[in-house]
Amino acid sequence: MDNKIMKFEEEIKKIDDMVGDRDYDGTVEARRRALVACCEKWYVRKELHWKQMSRSRHARDMDKNTRYFHNLASARRRNNRIDALVINGRLIRNQARIKLAIRGFYKELYHQEKSPMVGFRDGLVKMISEEDALALERLPTPEEVREAVWDCESSKAPGNDGHNMNFIKKYWDKIGTEFTVAVLVFFQSSRLPANANVTWVALAPKFSKAKEIKDLCLISMVGYVYKVISKMLVRRIQVVMPGLVGETQSVLVKGWKIYDGAFIVSETVQ
């Protein structure tokens, strides 16, 4: 990106130097205008790139400051860099060895084990009314797909092509129909497109200067098609979830807070 901007700036400088030699006509002037326009576009792209890399949320409406975003991105890169890691009591420093050790650690931790089939008990399924069941199985409408898209954060969930939700929203008039069809095909066929389930796995430090594998949080970054589909499923199940969860459950239910349990215990003790 910087190389392209430098080339445009060099071309503009050459044209400006031609003015002193009086070798300047309409064609050269038109070329200079085109180079300036291209240069301005790349300035905007550079700013957006570093703004997204910085993950800055409080600076959305402030003046253009690419250097500020660049410094934030550099700081994030330094904090997230893993130069040494303790895995199973052994210190590993080499980057290639660290990758292999991390892969082996999580492969062993999350390996598949045989377990008995667990079915629904205590009449849990009967708690869902026929009306709710039909609502859950109803095919989504294009409006529902659009609502899910606009409910996603614009600067997150990039696809394997690098585009994020902001790209989908901005060009919805041109690609919205094709995107909607791609999402609806999943609900009609129960099959995802081949590249929709591509996921990048990353380790995020829980705090600065993390040294052990337990100090890292394992996260998965999925593409925007997968993100929209999962959000649509979540939005639907949120409607029936309160009726399926017991009254003593205070976490992972919309409107119910984890500290409700502490309040109940405190009131009971008093």
List CB contacts of 233: < 8 A, sequence separation 6 or more. Answer: none
For 125-141, write each residue's pLDDT tens digit.
Answer: 557 788 888 888 889 99
Phi-psi map region of 122: left, alpha, beta (phi>0 left; psi -120 to 50 alpha): left
Has this prediction a pTM greater than 0.85?
no
Sign of CA dihedral 172, 136, 153, 205: negative
pLDDT at 62 (0 to 100): 47
Q: How many residues does the chain have?
A: 270
Q: CA nearest 4: which of 59, 54, 55, 44?
A: 44
CA gap 27, 144 in Å, rounded: 51
Decide if 205 contacts 216 (C-beta within 8 A): yes
What confidence tier does 61 reach under pLDDT thresholds 50, 70, 90? very low
